[in-house]
Structure 1
Amino acid sequence: MIHFIIGPKGSGKTKKVIEMANRAIEETKGNVVFIDGDYRKITGLKYQVRFINAREFGLKDLNVLYGFLCGIIAGDYDIEHVYIDGIIEDLGGDIKSIEDFVTDVKKLSDKFNIQFVITMSGTPESVPVFLKEYMLEEECIA
């Protein structure tokens, strides 16, 4: 399952996704991974959440991020939740590359039974059609 949290910058997306990761630690037996572009958010996460600073690995685009996710999963089959905050826009490129990334992540999610939650800046109205199915109303930030 994939969910997108979409809202304007400064609207509380990161706070919401940190709360979700912390709650997942208490509600699941598997492992929880939080991927971000810097260390600023690490203090809000419970120590049981595996924090990864994606910038340390020189990810250049969404294809490389997908490969990175595959490597993380290959190294730990107990992962049940992956939270990706604030790096899709940096790596995104065009709409087609984002659509391909979402398709690939959906396959990972289905195959390994992992829930992905991804934040993106924007407004729910500006979301491409292919992303709308992954947005839940309560997850949209106004």
Structure 2
Amino acid sequence: MTKQPLAQFELIAFDALPTMPVYMEQLLQIVNQTLAPLEIPAVTKTMVNSYVKQHFFSRPDGRQYTRNHIAAVLIVTLLKHDFSLGTISQAILKIRDSRKIAIRYTQFATAFEKALRQTPVTITSQDAMTQAIQFAAQTVAYHLLTEQALG
């Protein structure tokens, strides 16, 4: 199997995430299939349960996870290789409290994909959260590009 260049990677769009709640196995399948081209460790049930216990997101309703849960797991999985869980938790809580989950997820995805394509990410917003999201996305992308360059 030939390795897909990172420049071709696309994070699943928020609107493409399931609108109907999914069970744990489906969540894991979506997250792990989406992130597989990045060759990062797979997400496990234990990890997701840990994220719930650490309040990265709310408990599932009747063992079913929403698109917001899926988005959070995708982002936490990407961020945890470069940021402390405390920093991630602080960011997730601010985003959740702002009720702008879809917007913030899209901002992250856009900045992440641009950085993987080595396209400059122009930081024009004065909004501190937008800047933090863009910086974090670039950090993760450049980390992955560095690992790929080193072989």
Same fold (TM over 0.5): no
TM-score, normalised with respect to structure 2: 0.32
**Which is helix-richer, 1 or 2?**
2
Based on CA coordinates, which of the two structures has the bigger radius of gyration?
Answer: 2
Structure with bigger RCO (C-alpha 8 Å, 6+ apart): 1
TM-score, normalised with respect to structure 1: 0.33
**Which is strand-richer, 1 or 2?**
1
